[in-house]
Chains A and B, each alone.
Chain A
């Protein structure tokens, strides 16, 4: 039984029926992780701990206390702190760091919450700074579709884990596109919720006003299940919103207007906004083609298309690359070798200890962004850069509101291209930054956004399309994504690696 090709609902059903145990599932995925370790998707695996959690879940299931996710394994991006597994945020400066507490997201999904089983921590760009996982201190990770290509970043390891069938679902975080872009590069469905929906407590901070956690899965309905478990107010996070709990899957399967009479037109009444700027020069022709085909399909299902404009799309890049480094430069000051983390071996005095620990512990991209961040906050530059960027940020958020007066959901590409070859873009940092052009704005405005598989390039690399919704409209976006996924099969296509058996997989139980 290829458990890794099953949806969360199917796995949940199998566990409930007793056709498989959480222990068996856990062993199954641990085995795959081990066999496909050359993908370098995981940076910390602890089979005993995972199995402990599986045993606990099995007990719950046997005693009838099963929820929809109980006993199902999950992979966590290494940006979330976990008590049992190391937490490094992809950095040497936190190598071997063991947190005394679990991130709220991990708590919500773990034994004391939804009852899922943690398979381990996934590889990522250092401190979530990157779009290719090439900035990880623990080595680049391989795209399961083509091992010469990057999986995307910064949640590269999480993307690989689901795309290669190493985990049924994974958590990621998205500050400038870090859930959406790797999801797009690896053929996954990924969701970045509205800012404040999911607690940031225990999420190693990169850019506080932009970071958000979310699911990376094989389908929209799987994303909804995870969202139900992780969304909600956390009194430990002052920026988490006190919105009453909702069922994110409540609209899945329902027609957009609730009118079941025209079953062939489930999206009737939906207005899809297409920003001019998202389909301008710079967008790869193949990617554009796939998205246009997808748009046609949506039209066929009853959606109405509208042209909208997001004039500051290009400007979102400098705005982001002022604000994110600024916040990061401050958030990363705590890594100083005093209370935890890496401390340099040689130093003459306190100042040197700080400098050496940080210089040796941090990678190049992180150091670059810290310097940029300090620069834009420094005396004389604060107004011209930081404050200015925050003002333009409001313009960008306002532009979205203007667009949403014309449409219900915005649609466009996730990235200008498909996954590139390793090393191709890592020479020039600014080249890499341009990749984020379509994803950054949603983070700046705090809007929910998704990536959905919608095609395959000639080079057999996945293409994703992006949905951006208005605040709190995740359920509607998931509804739309699911409708698309009922009509198409892009999200069902698995990579060869995922399709192949690995050693020891022929036991069903």
Chain B
């Protein structure tokens, strides 16, 4: 992994990596990726991915909810941990499009 890639990943993940941290982090991530590269050597021809371990147990499909309103207004409760709010809205630095 090179530092460019890491910076790009950081951007994608909304994380800030300072220049001083970058080198060390590159090393650490490199070590992890090398370990993980062992996967490449395995022959998985014809293998379906196991996205849900449940699929080993039973052929399950997504349960469906009846279409009815079950939630009432809980704005105050749900927003009680909001860092910044006004008039029932969450406030964030202005979004410029």
Contact = CB atoms under 8 A, between A and B. Distances in A.
Interface in B13-42: 13-17, 25, 28-29, 31-33, 35-40, 42
A283 interface: no
Contacts of A98: 80-81
Contacts of B82: 339-340
Interface string B27-64: 01101110111111010100111111110111010110
Contacts of B80: 98, 100
Contacts of A430: 31-32, 35
B40 A321 contact: no
Contacts of A445: 53, 56
Contact of A337 (B36, B37, B77, B83): B83
A385 B39 contact: yes
Nearest to B1: A375
Contacts of A429: 28, 31-32
Contacts of A100: 74, 77-78, 80
Contacts of A471: 56-57
A322 B57 CA distance: 23
A122 to B, nearest CB: 21
Given A354-B14, A374-B12, A446-B57, A433 B29 contact: no
Nearest to A446: B53
Interface stretch (A110-118, A140-148, A154-162, A311-319): A311-319
Contact of A446 (B36, B49, B56, B77): B56
A310 to B, nearest CB: 15
Contacts of A392: 39, 42, 44, 47
A315 B38 contact: yes
Contacts of B31: 428-430
A401 B92 CA distance: 51
User: Interface range on chain A: under 10, 10 to 19, 20 to 34, or 35 or more?
Assistant: 35 or more
User: Interface range on chain B: under 10, 10 to 19, 20 to 34, or 35 or more?
Assistant: 35 or more
Given A355-B16, A394-B49, A371 B63 contact: no
A209 B39 CA distance: 19
A233 B9 CA distance: 38
B69 interface: no
Nearest to B5: A375
Contact of A343 (B9, B50, B57, B83): B83
Given A195-B54, A368-B29, A374-B13, A388 B81 contact: no
B68 interface: no
B12 A378 contact: yes
B49 to A, nearest CB: 3
Given A336-B14, A371-B6, A397 B53 contact: yes
A54 B36 CA distance: 49
Interface in A325-357: 329, 333, 336-343, 347-356
Given A97-B81, A100-B78, A355-B16, A372 B50 contact: no
A238 interface: yes
Contacts of B10: 371
B39 A319 contact: yes
A428 B24 CA distance: 11
Nearest to A384: B40
Interface in B76-97: 77-84, 90, 92-95
Interface in A60-108: 96-98, 100
Given A97-B81, A340-B81, A347-B93, A209 B51 contact: yes
Nearest to A353: B93
Nearest to A318: B36
A342 B83 CA distance: 8
Interface string A379-401: 00000110111111111010001
B97 to A, nearest CB: 11
A301 to B, nearest CB: 30
A341 B80 CA distance: 11
Given A238-B62, A319-B39, A322-B36, A390 B50 contact: yes
B93 A349 contact: yes
A355 B93 CA distance: 13
A194 B57 contact: yes
Contacts of A347: 93
A235 B68 CA distance: 14
Interface of A: 96-98, 100, 194-196, 209, 235, 238-239, 241-242, 315, 317-319, 321-322, 329, 333, 336-343, 347-356, 358-359, 362, 367-368, 370-372, 374-376, 378, 384-385, 387-395, 397, 401, 428-430, 433, 444-446, 471-472
20 contacts: A98-B80, A235-B65, A315-B38, A318-B39, A322-B36, A339-B90, A343-B84, A349-B93, A370-B15, A371-B13, A371-B15, A375-B5, A387-B49, A389-B39, A391-B50, A392-B42, A395-B44, A429-B32, A433-B32, A446-B53
Given A318-B37, A368-B28, A371-B29, 14 more contacts: A98-B81, A196-B54, A241-B60, A315-B38, A340-B83, A343-B83, A355-B16, A362-B15, A370-B13, A371-B6, A389-B39, A392-B44, A392-B47, A395-B47
3 closest residue pairs by CB, A with B: A446-B53, A390-B49, A340-B81
